[in-house]
Structure 1
């Protein structure tokens, strides 16, 4: 057969070729530009950031221990519930608390009260005796003054008579002396006159001395003093002083008893508070947070110090991150970090590096943590990232994201 000649393709005009070439070129340019930008971003990310291998959000747990032994009667909270500081989470009741301390203090108060009543009665008796002694002293002072005044009057009268006798004796002596000089009187008669004069003078001097002594006694009596003693050689005012000292000592003893009763009553109040606290202990949380775990149930008997549960302190959260030791060289304390949670695609948290631990072992938190961290593996470093203040805590049922895993990107220079 004779081969048929091939039909020639229709030729395209210049106007049809140019638009197609332009669109193709534009698409190639755009694709190339996108690839360049993507490559640039990948290179920028590679040189300016470090991406972790594993990361978990961790937090501090506060242990709640039983302050006393007892039976759990009230448990108004549940796991995952948000609580505030000093909120009651559990109530314990113990009907076996001993009240011996309260009874002992009550007995001591009753004994001291009886002693106080006896001391007060004795003080009243001493005060009555003091009043009697004061009245006796006043009466005695008046009697002594009256007696002294009478004695003074009597002695003054006697002195007046003695002075008169003295004047008579003096006149007789002068006359006898004149007659003796004239020779009309014997010497013996002059001597008798002289003796009478001296006797009269001595009597006047004696009476004046007695007058001074009696006046001294009178003045002492007016001042409440005594220059003489009683017939039994005992000063009656000493008894008054003794009673006054006894009253002062008794008042001090009463004050001591009153203070002892006051202290015992304060001790009794505290003992009753302690007893009530042991009979019904209310357990409160020391900080705000979320109930992480409850290990007690209503009706359960727990011993003192038994763990009742744990509270997660959402204010103290951080991220434990593991990165390659080669990459950790670019990370330093203060390096910004972005945390993307795997369980919540839209949740992104921000924080900064606070500690870096390379080598074997792990970075100990120094306190109970929600998620125990496994020891470092070789060629891995553990990094701690503290979340920024005000970081979203999420719903309480999410336990402030503690336990969630994610990926951490460190923004290095």
Structure 2
């Protein structure tokens, strides 16, 4: 007998559970793939400036200049002493000599003016003393004249009073017919003359008082407007001294200008004979391109300086991750030799097909090892700004060139 065939029914999952499973799988895949986005290669980059020789000559470096040495902005790193003839040097030497001769002549003129000022100042003091003496004598003379005028006025007043009394007596005698009218009129006229003299003398005394008060202030009210000899001499020598002082100030200005010109020509001459080498910023010596004592030409690279305050990270990613990278994205940077040392950064720019492979370099091709492993696959170069939490360490070149890993 034939055995009956057993049918086994296989159940099918519902559509609801199939869609949910696919979605979870997709999310897990995206999350897992996103977590695995990391750089193929990355390193710390920094700005490097090259100190060039400004003129041909012999290089003389300071003893402390060596890779890893900290330097300050404008710190002398060495100098270049020219060993070639320069056509400008003889002209500059002659120009400086001419300026020095002019400066010596100006100083000689200033010395002569100082002697003249000393002599004229003493003479001015003498004239001033004479003028003061003359003024005191004039005041005494004016006081004597005032005293004399007062006495004369007092005498006239007395005569006028006596004449007035006599005139009254003569008037009575005239009315009584003891004297003639002619004699009475004569006495009356004399009395009027005395009164007029008294008024004139009083006016003269008042004018003299005003002259004395004006003279004390150095003014003159009456007479021709002239000065006495001491005052005239004092005024003349004062004007002369003022002119000499102005001449001296002009010479002092010329002296300062000539001295400044000598300094400028000396500095220019020194720059033609030797030049000092220095950095324009604080940093660390990256390398020394020329040996101490070597002959260099104008424009020869001598020293390269790393700017520890201007550092960033260059990271290379697979181009397949291009859709997962964008400027402004936050990343974590790990030091390759120590995963405990991390920094937070932000992607600034992203470009494809080119990158930076050495500290301080600009436009170069991707690292050879990446190119060999991934040819013909292109790579993405990401410029990442880092929030450096530690101060730069010049002895370790501020970690420039150290390998790091960048992860999203």
* 2:392 and 2:398 in contact (8 A); partners too: no
Residue in structure 1 matched with residue 199 of structure 2 by the alignment: 205
Residue in structure 2 matched with residue 334 of structure 1 by the alignment: 330
TM-score (norm 2): 0.65
Answer yes or no: is 1:302 the counterpart of 2:302.
Answer: no
From 366, 373, 377, the equivalent of 2:364 is 373
Which deviates the most, 181-190 or 272-281?
Answer: 272-281
Q: 1:356 to 1:228 in 2, by over 3 A?
A: closer
Residue aligned with 2:382, SS: strand
Q: 1:361 to 1:206 in 2, by over 3 A?
A: same
Structure 1 gap ranges (5+): 1-42, 341-345
Residue aligned with 2:330, SS: coil
Aligned length: 356
Residue in structure 1 matched with residue 60 of structure 2 by the alignment: 74
Residue in structure 2 matched with residue 94 of structure 1 by the alignment: 82
Residue in structure 1 matched with residue 130 of structure 2 by the alignment: 136
TM-score (norm 1): 0.64
Per-residue CA distance 1:373-392 (angstroms, 9 max, x = gap): 22798753222456776699
Residue aligned with 2:293, SS: coil
Residue in structure 2 matched with residue 33 of structure 1 by the alignment: none
Per-residue CA distance 1:207-244 (angstroms, 9 max, x = gap): 333333334444445555443446xx523346645644
- Structure 2 distance, partners of 1:173, 1:117, is 82
Q: Which has the larger radius of gyration?
A: 1
- Structure 2 distance, partners of 1:113, 1:350, is 69
Residue in structure 2 matched with residue 185 of structure 1 by the alignment: 179
User: How far is the alpha carbon of 1:336 from its aligned partner?
Assistant: 2.9
Q: 1:370 to 1:347 in 2, by over 3 A?
A: farther
Residue in structure 2 matched with residue 23 of structure 1 by the alignment: none
- Structure 2 distance, partners of 1:277, 1:322, is 46
* 1:320 and 1:382 in contact (8 A); partners too: yes
Structure 2 gap ranges (5+): 1-29
- Structure 2 distance, partners of 1:300, 1:59, is 30
Residue aligned with 2:226, SS: coil
Residue in structure 2 matched with residue 291 of structure 1 by the alignment: 286
Residue aligned with 2:178, SS: coil
Q: 1:81 to 1:220 in 2, by over 3 A?
A: closer
Residue aligned with 2:71, SS: coil
- Structure 1 distance, partners of 2:394, 2:134, is 98
Residue aligned with 2:175, SS: helix
Residue in structure 2 matched with residue 61 of structure 1 by the alignment: 48
User: How far is the alpha carbon of 1:248 from its aligned partner?
Assistant: 4.8
Residue in structure 2 matched with residue 84 of structure 1 by the alignment: 70
- Structure 1 distance, partners of 2:262, 2:130, is 48
Q: 1:63 to 1:170 in 2, by over 3 A?
A: same
From 227, 244, 253, the equivalent of 1:235 is 227
How large is the RMSD of aligned CA atoms in angstroms? 4.8
Residue in structure 1 matched with residue 20 of structure 2 by the alignment: none
- Structure 2 distance, partners of 1:259, 1:184, is 97
